[in-house]
Structure 1
């Protein structure tokens, strides 16, 4: 039997990757029969699964972007064809529910009906001969007629009938983790919905260990801990980890009763990590700083006098003083992306996942998603988003590492720019091409050599374009005035 997933019509490019990640986590074989970014209704099947109903429940339980999953009892382009398919597809199941309490309802996407039309549609299924009581609350069987309208179309172009198998916990989970109720947040705290989706893509689960090297106020560790993973993190700015007045990262874990899963946070940057070189992490989840408000920096200095140990007047080492502030130097955004991948290669277990957000200075041209019969096209990103924005040129190419396989790329669009969530899987050493690895390391050495002295704008083209409003580089910045013409 096929099953229909009722998605939310939001973050469309995230929905399939999240569902596939949950199937991978549960070991469930999954096949897409129909999916479109333009519709909240998707059809899947579970091939070679002895208990597809249990697989369906497992799949939907922790989904953030899907609300429920249904047995597909019929589909059609209009009501006559829908009724014909219902008779052919689901007639053997009618006796199983004929004596039980039941309920019918209609779910119309981009469409509506009058009360009399609503009643007529439901009564058109009277041939199923259900004789049990109609119960609007907690019935034994709940049936839904799904209508998929094109915008402003008078009639639906696709119809389905489904029997509810299981509902997800999306609403309760988002209500629990909303930033409006969180004890400790900052201006850069990740939206709770996308943080939870990221945790799903990272396959966070009990018995797994997840790390965020740009933790901030802990949005990603909190999301991973919600799904049972042990978590810890670090940040170059210790103030974000420590907080003040009893409001800090740890207080958030106390609020959500996940303190036992929080292993702690510390101050560090990725290029000077105190973590020992060991492949022990199951997941790395991060949203690296884009360097817009402040230029990207790491520990260190280009000044020779600050590269050696500094002594105070009393002979003590400066870095041992409580008030010591280490020097920082400008940092290339491209090098940071490469450092994240390099760190993931050395820290992730085989099959471990790295989920990393990165900006794009202008959404790429949208691609046409496939309809019936398979996945949408994902290459190049920017597909199907409905959150605004349209552009032509990507600011950064998707970073690549020979030891990491790109699993998915999801795009969130804003007004004049967008950002991507990239998910990688650590390959087994036996699957890594040695020649490709040597070429990669050589290119990496060149990039490190180019990361010399420079301003924040010199080392971060995204920052430059952000302050220019993503206009042509020859145009003046938004806050600059054109020179007077005399």
Structure 2
């Protein structure tokens, strides 16, 4: 049967990927019949009412789901369709308590017109009491109006839907995990709504192991733990994990929400020097041996406020004494390890390589990355032969956007061996923060394309404007992108979540 999903009209590119991920997680056979980014109404085909309720019970972006009785471009056609196709359903609701609700998108009617609209459904023959709270059944009339319908005086909606309410999503969860009420956050803490959506796309669930290599104050592990996963995390700056050592700590955040059972362990580490075991990439593995995570979720550092850094020194020969002192004093609580610049694109590729070596078959990598909106400066979505792109969701700001990219770990036997052989190692070019990070360079040039010289066409990112420095990006901060190859892992001086 067909069902109607009523989405919130926000984060439009995230909505369908979240529902498809939840269908996979719940084992529900989902067929999308009608969907548009411009409308909050989505028609899907599902096997049963129970599967419909299970599909959206933990959805963050779906408000409700309804048994769809009919939809039409006008009221007369809607009534005609209901009368000709659903008469066999009416007797089941003849004596139960009920109520009618009108849900209008982009338009409205006067109260007397609303009453008249509801009374036009009297042919259904419902005889039970009308109960506004705690009713047995709720029937909803959905109206999809043209843009600016009220201001333009448009009298009727462009499309109507009629359905029976079955269940709601998890729209209250972002309020529970709201950053404004959280004890311990940082300037890069991911807001609760998008953290929960990320957890859904990563298929976080009981029995799953989830890892965040840029854990910060724990936004993603908290969201994944909320859905029952056992979470782990690391950060190059241990201070973000320890906080003040009292209540304002990452562990304190888990305690605040009663999620300590989902806190597996947090440690200080740089992804390029990670202690996490990584299995060699092969083509005949069993899908589990040597790989331990069901999901990797992260919002890597973007390197905007300061250049992207990893542990190490620029010149090992000239800095041999620094390395020796580090090996002697690394357990000292006051020890600050040396760092060196790292390529933004190599970091993204490192995340993919790390995930390919640690995710079980069909495990998921969901990470955020920034890019310019100008196609000439846009950073391509990074790829890896062992990872299949599942979805690319985009949150747009002014001249730049950040994407939530989700991958599936391909079973070894299905990997394109030729593509893996052609994969080249990342070779970062440059030494300065701007040279190593095209997004940073574009950001501080206000994403302006460089002026062509000698008849050449602009390419790459714009030249920084020394006279105009834009403010830092809106919080929370984004992530990055590349398609090179460096095995290992990474951390940054600017922690994301």
For normalisation by structure 1, the TM-score amounts to: 0.88
Partner Cα separation in structure 2 for residue 287 and residue 311 of structure 1: 32
Q: Does the 8 A contact of 1:302 with 1:453 survive in 2?
A: no
Q: Does the 8 A contact of 1:69 with 1:166 survive in 2?
A: yes
Partner Cα separation in structure 1 for residue 327 and residue 130 of structure 2: 82
Partner Cα separation in structure 2 for residue 267 and residue 225 of structure 1: 20
Which of 394, 399, 403 lines up with 1:416 in the alignment? 399
Q: SS where residue 139 of structure 1 aligns? A: coil
Residue 169 of structure 1: how far off its partner (Å):
2.4
Which of 301, 306, 313 lines up with 2:319 in the alignment? 306
Which of 469, 472, 477 lines up with 2:446 in the alignment? 469
Q: Does the 8 A contact of 2:205 with 2:224 survive in 1?
A: yes
Structure 1: segments with no counterpart, 5+ residues: 363-390, 482-486
Partner Cα separation in structure 2 for residue 460 and residue 147 of structure 1: 47
Count of matched residue positions in the alignment of Structure 1 and Structure 2:
441
Q: Does the 8 A contact of 1:3 with 1:72 survive in 2?
A: yes
Per-residue CA deviation, residues 160-194 of structure 1 (Å, 9 max, x unaligned), is 10100111221x21110111111110110001100
Residue 453 of structure 1: how far off its partner (Å):
5.5
Per-residue CA deviation, residues 37-96 of structure 1 (Å, 9 max, x unaligned), is 1111100002xx3xx100001011000000110000111110010001111221111000
Partner Cα separation in structure 2 for residue 25 and residue 310 of structure 1: 47
Q: SS where residue 138 of structure 1 aligns? A: coil
Residue 296 of structure 1: how far off its partner (Å):
0.4
Partner Cα separation in structure 1 for residue 57 and residue 195 of structure 2: 17
Residue 394 of structure 1: how far off its partner (Å):
4.8
Partner Cα separation in structure 2 for residue 394 and residue 410 of structure 1: 18
Q: Does the 8 A contact of 1:330 with 1:453 survive in 2?
A: no
For 1:215-254, list aligned pairs within 5 A: 215-244=215-244, 246=246, 247-254=248-255
Residue 310 of structure 1: how far off its partner (Å):
4.5
Q: Does the 8 A contact of 1:101 with 1:135 survive in 2?
A: yes
Partner Cα separation in structure 1 for residue 93 and residue 45 of structure 2: 22
Q: SS where residue 294 of structure 1 aligns? A: coil
For 1:6-405, list aligned pairs within 5 A: 6-46=6-46, 49=47, 52-153=48-149, 154=154, 155-170=156-171, 172-244=172-244, 246=246, 247-277=248-278, 278-303=290-315, 304-307=317-320, 310-311=323-324, 317-362=328-373, 391-405=374-388
Q: Does the 8 A contact of 2:377 with 2:442 survive in 1?
A: no
Q: Which residue is equivalent to 2:281?
A: none
Structure 1 segments, 4+ long, off by >6 Å, are none
Per-residue CA deviation, residues 249-304 of structure 1 (Å, 9 max, x unaligned), is 10000001011210121111111001122311000000111000011011111221
Q: Does the 8 A contact of 1:310 with 1:318 survive in 2?
A: no
Task: Say whether residues 1:407 and 2:390 are aligned partners.
Answer: yes
Q: SS where residue 419 of structure 1 aligns? A: strand
Per-residue CA deviation, residues 323-348 of structure 1 (Å, 9 max, x unaligned), is 32221110101100100000000000
Q: Which residue is equivalent to 2:411?
A: 428
Q: Does the 8 A contact of 1:237 with 1:267 survive in 2?
A: yes
Which of 459, 467, 472 lines up with 1:480 in the alignment? 467
Q: 1:201 to 1:102 in 2, by over 3 A?
A: same
Q: Relative CO higher for 1 or 2, CA cutoff 8 Å, sep ≥ 6? A: 2
Residue 239 of structure 1: how far off its partner (Å):
1.3
When structure 1 is superposed on structure 2, of 258-267 and 203-212 the one drifting more is: 258-267
Q: Does the 8 A contact of 1:209 with 1:283 survive in 2?
A: yes
Q: 1:316 to 1:134 in 2, by over 3 A?
A: closer
Partner Cα separation in structure 2 for residue 477 and residue 432 of structure 1: 41
Q: SS where residue 66 of structure 2 aligns? A: strand
Q: 1:307 to 1:56 in 2, by over 3 A?
A: farther
Residue 311 of structure 1: how far off its partner (Å):
4.8
For normalisation by structure 2, the TM-score amounts to: 0.86
Q: SS where residue 43 of structure 1 aligns? A: strand
Structure 2: segments with no counterpart, 5+ residues: 279-289, 452-461, 469-497
Residue 411 of structure 1: how far off its partner (Å):
0.2
Residue 319 of structure 1: how far off its partner (Å):
3.5
Q: Does the 8 A contact of 2:442 with 2:463 survive in 1?
A: no
Q: SS where residue 86 of structure 2 aligns? A: helix
Q: Does the 8 A contact of 2:388 with 2:409 survive in 1?
A: yes
